[in-house]
Amino acid sequence: MARSLCQITDFSTDEIRELFDLCAQMKSKQIAPRPLEGKSVACIFTKASLRTRVSFEVGINELGGHAMYITDNEIKLGQRETVADAARVLSRYVGMIMIRTFKQSDVDELAKYASVPVINGLTDLVHPCQILGDYFTIMEHLGKKDRYKIAYVGDGNNIVNSWLNLACRIPIELRVGTADDCHPDSEILKKARQAEDSKILITADPKEAVSDADVVYTDVWASMGEKHRAEEKEDKLRKYQLNGSLLAAADPGAIVLHCLPAERNKEITDEVMDGPQSVVFDQAENRLHIQKAIMAFLLK
């Protein structure tokens, strides 16, 4: 079994720090490794994507490889054949697999049976590449290595679960402002609460979450796996909108993050997204750099 990235907790703290160093060196063009020279990468998408699709394709090309965009129309993962068989077959053709899909168990299964690295490009449960890139963005803007006060307001979704996973590896204070029945995954939350150096707060009060924070983060109220619950989520999460008045509770030097795509003037107002504290497009750019680092790291 090759090394894969199914969740952030697949990496140790030292490995995550190594990834960030690699990312900085690649972004500044100090190094330009081509570990994918002569290899193809299967990029499987059973959900829509702009950033993940384009940043992976560009990154794969820059690492010397060839990206193959595969939708579920072709492979019907788990329907035409088992995920395990698809993993065994793909491993005979490609040097790496990237997958964005619904079920985390499909990614775990693929990684278990593939003999090449598998990278999770988002599931209903987690979005590891996003949060690794986001943490790199935070360090770039704010300069410290750890102990940030990170506030997240909105749905307790794959983004929050990934922040909780990161808290198991990097000391942070994570405050999640969300409605009672929009909490993150209970198992992931339990593990993060056991992390010695991180502090986790889940609160129904958005101001309590944001108060004095260094970073304020939000995401759509209804994720791709939950669009059928959009109206219900909107009703529950309206009071968690990231607007100017909520942001005023954060530290004056706080930065604003959103993984994008945003539903403007729902979870985040134009004023905040386009305001001076927003770094959302740096964040989007860093997806490219961190994913190149992740691929180079896994191919070592």
Active-site residues: which are they? 100, 127, 130, 219, 259, 287
For residues 7 and 198, which CB has a smaller minimum distance to ligand CP in the complex? 7
Picked from ligand CP, ligand NVA, none, the partner binding residue 220 (CB below 5 to 8 A depending on kind) is ligand NVA
Residue whose CB is less far from ligand CP, 122 or 256 = 122
Burial of 272 (0-12, 13-18, 19+ CB in 10 A): buried
**Using omega within 30 degrees of 0 as the cis cutoff, is the peptide bond preceding 252 cis?**
no
Rounded to the nearest whole angstrom, what is the least distance from the CB of residue 49 to ligand CP in the complex? 3
- Hey, which residues between 137 and 166 contact ligand NVA (CB under 6 A)? 157-159
179 is a site residue for ligand NVA (CB under 6 A): no
Q: Contact at 8 Å (CB) between 108 and 53? A: no
Residues 207-226 that bind ligand NVA (CB under 6 A): 219-220, 223-224
Binding mask 118-137 for ligand NVA (x = CB under 6 A): ----x----x----------
Binding site partner of 198, from ligand CP, ligand NVA, none, Cβ cut-off 5-8 A by kind: none
Q: How far is the CB of 40 from ligand NVA (least distance, A)?
A: 25
Site residues for ligand CP per CB under 6 A: 49-52, 122, 130, 259-261
Q: Report the b/e string of 41-52 with b at 16+ CB within 10 A.
A: bbbbbbbebebb
* β pairing state of 96-100 and 215-218: unpaired
Least distance CB 59 / ligand NVA (angstroms): 17
Q: Which does 50 bind (CB under 5 to 8 A by kind): ligand NVA, ligand CP, none?
A: ligand CP
Cα 143 from Cα 136, distance rounded (Å): 10
Residue among 60 and 122 whose Cβ is closer to ligand NVA: 122
Query: Mask: binding to ligand NVA, 232-261, rule CB under 6 A, as x and -?
Result: ---------------------------x--
CA distances to 47, 104, 206, 254, 259 from 121, in Å: 10, 11, 29, 28, 13
With binding defined as CB under 6 A, does residue 104 bind ligand NVA? no
Smallest distance, ligand CP to C-beta of residue 200, A? 23
Strand order across the beta sheet in which 199-203 lies: 199-203, 173-177, 149-153, 215-218, 255-258
When asked if residue 176 is in the footprint of ligand NVA (CB under 6 A), the reply is no
Q: Which residues of 61-100 are buried (b: 16+ CB within 10 A; e: fewer)?
A: ebbebebbebeeeebebbeeeebeebbeebbeebbbbbbb
Cα–Cα distance for residue pair 175/56, rounded to 1 Å: 30
Contact criterion met (CB below 8 Å) for 66 and 40: yes
**Whole-angstrom distance, CA of residue 218 vs CA of residue 197:** 24
Question: Least separation, in Å, of the C-beta of 225 and ligand NVA?
Answer: 6
Binding residues for ligand NVA (CB under 6 A)? 122, 127, 157-159, 219-220, 223-224, 259
